[in-house]
Structure 1
Amino acid sequence: MPPDSHALDVDSAWPPGTVRLEVLTTPDLSRASEAAEVVLQPKPSSDPNDPLNWPTWRKHLNFALVNYYALMVYALIDVATVTWGPMNKDIGFSYAIMNDSYAAGCGSLAIGGLFLVPLSLKYGRRPVYILSTAAQCGLCVWLARMQNVGDLMGGNILTCIVGALAEVLVQMTIADIYFIHHRGVANTIYYWCITFGTTLSPLAGGYIIPSQGWRWVWWWMVILLGAGLVAFVFLYEETMFSRPIEGLALSSQKLDNEQPVDKKDPEMPKADEAEEVEDVQVQPTVAAAPRIDPSIPKKTYWQKLAFWSTSTMSVSQMTRQMYQPLVILVSFPAICFMCFEYGMLTACTTVPVTTLSSVMTLPPYNFNPQQIGLMGIPQFVGTTLGTLASGPLSDSIVLFLAKRRGGVYDPEMRLWLALAFTPFVPAGLFMFGIGLNNGVHWLLPAFGLGVSSFGIVPASSSALTYLTDAYTDIVADAIVGLTFVRNVISTIFVFIQTPWANATGLTWFYVAFGLINFVILMGNAVFIWFGKRFRVGYADRYRSYSEQRIKEM
C-alpha cells in the first residue's frame, strides 16, 4: 500500500465520528478473497510517549488499575446494603434512613464529577486517581467508626463525591490509550468490573458480618483501597497527551447520509460497489503504527510517575468546566439520549439491590445478610454471560459493518448490539418484581436478576462506546454529563420506589419500570437510522467545542 494511502482516513465532508476503519490492501473487487487492513483511529503521533504508541502490556496494566479503582468505588457504594440489618439492631438506624443515605450517595455521584474532572484536565489523570483513592481510604475509616446518622450520611455523601470519577476518568483513560476497534471490548470489561463490585461486594460483606462484625466491612474496604493506592503510586502512568484533533478539519459541507465514502479516493470502493464488497472474504490485519521519532526522548520510570502534569488551562477555563458538561448535555441529541438511557440501565441495577435489602429481610423470605449477599450472584452471572456474549461481538460487528460500507465506520454501528439484547432487560425486571410481590420461591427473582443483567451489559457498553467514538474530543464533558444524569435517575428511583410500590404493589412498580426501560432502549433504533444526520447537523457546534478544548490543552 502506498505510504499516503491513509491520508483521507477522515474526510473533510464526514461528520464527527465517521472515519475509515478498514481498507482493502488490493482494490480488485472481482477476487473471491481480499486482504484488509484496520486503520488506526485515532491516529497516533510519532512521539514514543504517546499512550497510543505504548506497548500492549503497558496499556493493559493501566487499564487493569483503573478497572480495579472502578470496582472498588462501586463495591464501597453497594456493600453498605448488607450492613443495614445489623446496623438497625446495633445503632437503631431505621431502614428509611439507610435507604435515604444510599439515595444521598447516588445524588452525590451526580455532582462529584463536575468539581473533580476539571482537575484531571488541568493536572492529569494520575493525581486525581491517587487523591481519590486516598480520600476513600480515610472516609472508610470514618464509616467503620460511625455512631450516628450524621456519620452515615456524611460518609456516604463524601465517598460518593470523590468516587464519582469512576465513570468519567475511566472513559477518558480508554479514549487516551485504545483505538476505536478496541474500545468495545474495553468498555464491556469495564462494565463487567463495576457490576462485579456492585453485585459481589454484598456477598463478601454478608460473610464478613457474622465472623467479624459489620464494622469490619469498612475496615476491609480500607485494606483493599490501600492496596490500590500503593499500586497507583508505583505503577499507574499518566495518559493525558495533547495531539492534533482530527475533528478540527471538518468542513461545513454536509454529507448525504447514504454517501459515507469519499469518491475522490481511488483506493476506496464507490457507493455503487458496496454490494460487491459485501461478498468479499476479507482477512483483516492491523495497520502498522507510524514511525517513532528517535529524536524525542522516552520518559524515564520516575518521569512517568511524576505526581502531576500540567496543561495551559486557566482558572476561568477550569471554572467553565464545572458547568460546560451540562451545557453540552442539552446541546447534542445523541449525548442527551445516551446519558438518559445509561441512567435508566444503571437504575435497573441499583433499584433491585435496595429492594432486596428492604423486602427479602421480611417474611416470607426472612433472609439474613449472607443470603442477601448471595442474591448478587445471579446479577454477576448474568453480567459475565453478557460480557462473554457481547464483548467480542462489539468490535467484530463494527469491523464487519464497516467492510460492508466500503471500510467506513459510523458510531451508530455500535447500537445494533444494544437493540438485539433489549428484550432481556424488561423480561428480567418483570420476573423479579412479580416474583417478590407474590412471595414465590427465591429462584424466580434470582433468575430475573440474571436475565436483566444479561441484557444490561451490551446496552450500557454500546452507549458508552458510542459517546466515546462519536464525540471523542469532548468525551470528558459527555461522560460527566452521563454521570450526572445516571445518578440523578438512580436517586429519583431509589427515593420513589418505596412509596410507589406501597401504593401499587411491587408487581406494578416493576412492570412499569420494565416498560419504561423497553421504550427507552428501543430509542436506539432512532439513532441507528437518524444518528448520523444528527452528527451532520451538529458538526459545527462540535467543532467549536473541540477548538476550545485544544486551546485549553
Structure 2
Amino acid sequence: MAKPEMYRHPTRSEIIELAVAEGHDADIPGNAGSIHQVHSHTSRPRSLRKKHESEKPSAMAIDKDVEKGDTAGSISSDEEAADMNEEDPNVVFWDGPDDPENPLNWRETKKWGTVTLVSGITFLTPLASSMFAPGVPQVMATFNSTNDMIEQFMVSVYVLGFAFGPMIIAPLSEMYGRLPLYHSCNGLFIIFSIAAAVSTSMTQFVTFRFLMGCFGGAPMVLGGGTIADLISREQRGTAMVVWMMGPTVGPCVGPIIGGFLTEAKGWRWNFWFVAIIAGALMLMSVILMKETSAPVILERKARRLRTETNNPKLRSKLASDLSPADLFKFSIIRPAKMLTRSTVCLAMSVYIAITYTYLYILFTTFTAVFKSQYHWTGGVVGLSFLGIGLGSLIGQFGFTYFGNKTVNKHIERDDFNPEHRLYTMCVGGCLIPGGLFWYGWSVQASTHWIVPILGTGLIGFGLLMTFMPATTYLVDVFTVHAASAMAASTVLRSLCAALVPLSSSKMYKAMGYGWGNSLLGFVSLVLIPIPFLFIRYGEKIRARSTVKL
C-alpha cells in the first residue's frame, strides 16, 4: 500500500500546492509542514529558541523576492533534508501510513460526505449574496426609502463582508482548526440571516447583511483546505471543481430562486429560506463533521501523550513556531505589501477587481432594467440572471479544458512559465467588452428579451475566462506566498464590488443603458492589453521585482 502523502516527507512543490489549497502561505506550517525547517523536536521555550536561532539566518527572517522565485530559506540542502528525516523519539506523528486518525485514511463515505457538506455550505453563502436582489423594490417600500445609493448598497454590502471576515477567519483556523470556525461562523451566519429577516429599519438591515457576508465567507476560506485534508492528489481536482461551483454559480442562481420566493412570500422569506437551509446544513455538520486539520489533530495527540507518558518534551511534527500575533501579521500585512509593491499583483488584482465589479453592477440593476424595459413582473424577474449564470458555468468548464490543455503542452515541452496561464485570459478579456456593448444597446433599443440575455451570457463567460487564469497566474508567480497574493486580490475585488455599484443607477439615468454599458465596455477595452503585455514581458517584469517579504 502506498504511503499517504502526509506520512512521507513531501517535496517543496507539494508543500506549496497543499498550502495554497489550505489558504495560507507555504512558510506557515500546515498539513505537509513548512518549506522552512521547523524545529519541533526542541523542548526549549519560544524565547530561548529565538535567541538560539538569531545566531544564524532564520528561515522566517531571510528576505525573499517572491516574484523572482527566490527560495532562500527553503528546504534545499542535503543537510536540511537529512535534518528533516532525522528520527526523534519526542516528535509525534502518524502511527504509520494506515493510521486511522489521519483524515486521508478515513472511510470513503465519511470523506466524501464531509466534502459534500462543505460544498453545500459554500454554495449557499454566495447564493445569499444576490438571492434577494429581485426583492429590492419591496425592501425599499417597506422602509420608505427612495435613496438610489442605498438601493444598490443593500445588495453589494454582503460582498464588503467578504473583504474583512476572511482576514480574521484564516489565522484563527491555523490556531484552532477548521471545525470550530465552521460551526461558529455557520451559527453566526444563521443568527444574522434571521436578524436581517426581522429588521425594522434600513440601518439594521444593511448592518446585518454586512455581518452575514463577514461570516458567510468562512467556507470559501476553509473549504479548499478541508478538501486537501481529506482527498488524495489524484482525486482532489474533481472535489475542487465541485466545491468551486458554489462561488461561481451560486450568485447567479440565487436571484432566480429569490424572484419567485419574493413574489410568493415577500422579501423577508429570502432570509428565512437561507437561515432554514443553513440551519439544516449546520445540524448535519455538527453531527457528521470531524476536525480534519493535521496540525491540530497531531497537537491534540501530542497533548494527550504528554499527559499519559508524563513526558513534557513530546511535540507534534507539524507544530508551528509562529505566535498568534505572527499569524495575524502575515495574514494582514503581507497582502497589503504585495498589493502596493508588486507590479504583477497590482495589475492582476485591478483587472480582477474591475471585472468582478461589473458582475455586481449587473446584479444590482438587472431587476430595474427588466422591469422598466421589458415590463417583467413577479418571480419572472429573477430569470434575468439566467444568462450570466449559464455563461459563467460554461466559462468554468472552458477554462478548465483549454487552460489545462495549454499548460500541459508547455510542460511536456519543458518550457512552461507562469505567463502561459494567460492565453485564456486574452480571450476572456476580449469577450467582456463585446458582451457589455451587446447587452447595453439591445436593452436601449428594447429588442426581444433573449438578445440582452445572450449578451449577459457572453459577459459571464468572459468574466470566468478572465478571473480564473488571473488567479492561477498569481499562484504560479508567487508560489510560497501565493495565499497572500490571492488575499490581496480578494480584498481589492470585494471592496470594489461593494462600493462601485453604488453609482450604477445614476450612471444609467444620466447616460442611458446603451452608453452606460458602453462606458464599462470602453474601460474593459483599455484592460485588454494587460495579459498580452505580461505574456511578452512578464518574465522581465518579475526579474526586476523588488518585493521583499
Structure 1 length-normalised TM:
0.70
CA contact (8 A) 2:129 2:156 kept: no
CA contact (8 A) 2:341 2:547 kept: no
2:406 to 377, 397, 407: 397
CA contact (8 A) 1:82 1:205 kept: yes
Partner of 2:197: 144
Partner of 1:88: 140
Say if 2:261 is the partner of 1:208.
Answer: yes
Aligned ranges 1:63-74 → 2 under 5 Å:
63-74=115-126
Aligned ranges 1:232-247 → 2 under 5 Å:
232-236=285-289, 238=291, 240-241=293-294
1:322 to 308, 316, 332: 332
Partner of 2:446: 439
2:419 alignment partner AA? E
Which moved further from structure 2: 511-520 or 199-208?
511-520
RMSD value, Cα: 3.7
CA contact (8 A) 2:367 2:382 kept: no
1:239 to partner: Cα distance: 5.2
Q: The residue matched to 2:69 in structure 1 has which SS?
A: coil
1:140 to partner: Cα distance: 1.0
Partner of 2:512: 505
1:486 to partner: Cα distance: 0.4
Provide Cα deviations, 1:425-483, integer angstroms capped at 9, x if missing partner: 21111111222233332222111111111122222121222233433432332222122
1:335 to partner: Cα distance: 2.2
1:323 to partner: Cα distance: 3.3
Say if 2:342 is the partner of 1:335.
Answer: no
CA contact (8 A) 2:438 2:455 kept: yes
* In 2: Cα distance, 1:419 partner to 1:55 partner: 43
* In 1: Cα distance, 2:537 partner to 2:112 partner: 35
* In 2: Cα distance, 1:354 partner to 1:528 partner: 34
1:128 to partner: Cα distance: 2.0
Aligned ranges 1:31-110 → 2 under 5 Å:
63-94=115-146, 96=148, 97-110=150-163
Aligned ranges 1:526-545 → 2 under 5 Å:
526-538=533-545, 541=548, 545=549
CA contact (8 A) 1:112 1:161 kept: yes
Say if 2:355 is the partner of 1:345.
Answer: yes
1:409 to partner: Cα distance: 4.1
Q: Which has the higher contact order (CA 8 A, sep 6+)?
A: 1
Percent identity of paired positions between Structure 1 and Structure 2: 22
CA spacing shift, 1:165–1:426, aligned 2, 3 Å: farther
Aligned ranges 1:48-447 → 2 under 5 Å:
63-94=115-146, 96=148, 97-165=150-218, 167-170=220-223, 189-236=242-289, 238=291, 240-241=293-294, 311-320=320-329, 321-362=331-372, 364-405=373-414, 409-447=416-454
CA contact (8 A) 1:122 1:313 kept: no
Q: The residue matched to 1:510 in structure 2 has which SS?
A: helix
1:125 to partner: Cα distance: 3.0
1:238 to partner: Cα distance: 4.6
* In 1: Cα distance, 2:174 partner to 2:398 partner: 35
Provide Cα deviations, 1:373-399, integer angstroms capped at 9, x if missing partner: 111211222122223333233323322
CA contact (8 A) 2:429 2:527 kept: no
* In 2: Cα distance, 1:226 partner to 1:360 partner: 33
2:432 alignment partner AA? V
Provide Cα deviations, 1:3-25, integer angstroms capped at 9, x if missing partner: xxx99989x9995399xxxxxxx
Provide Cα deviations, 1:255-308, integer angstroms capped at 9, x if missing partner: xxxxxxxxxxxxxxxxxxxxxxxxxxxxxxxxxxxxxxxxx99x9xxxxxxxxx
Partner of 1:489: 496
CA contact (8 A) 2:124 2:246 kept: no
Q: Which runs of 5+ in 1 are unaligned?
A: 1-5, 19-44, 244-295, 300-308, 546-553
2:527 to 520, 538, 546: 520
Which moved further from structure 2: 47-56 or 427-436?
47-56
1:463 to 461, 470, 493: 470
1:217 alignment partner AA? N
Q: The residue matched to 1:471 in structure 2 has which SS?
A: helix
Partner of 1:261: none
1:47 to partner: Cα distance: 9.1
* In 1: Cα distance, 2:257 partner to 2:209 partner: 19
1:418 to partner: Cα distance: 1.9
CA spacing shift, 1:148–1:140, aligned 2, 3 Å: same
Q: The residue matched to 1:323 in structure 2 has which SS?
A: helix
* In 1: Cα distance, 2:337 partner to 2:484 partner: 9
1:71 alignment partner AA? F
Q: Which runs of 5+ in 2 are unaligned?
A: 1-9, 15-34, 36-64, 72-95, 305-317
| Structure with greater helix percent | 2
CA contact (8 A) 2:175 2:324 kept: no
Q: The residue matched to 2:448 in structure 1 has which SS?
A: coil
1:540 to partner: Cα distance: 7.8
Partner of 2:92: none
Q: The residue matched to 1:422 in structure 2 has which SS?
A: helix
* In 1: Cα distance, 2:542 partner to 2:291 partner: 31
CA spacing shift, 1:310–1:242, aligned 2, 3 Å: closer
Structure 2 length-normalised TM:
0.71
1:222 to partner: Cα distance: 0.8
2:153 alignment partner AA? D
1:328 to partner: Cα distance: 2.5
Q: How many residues align?
A: 445
1:74 alignment partner AA? P
1:507 to partner: Cα distance: 1.7
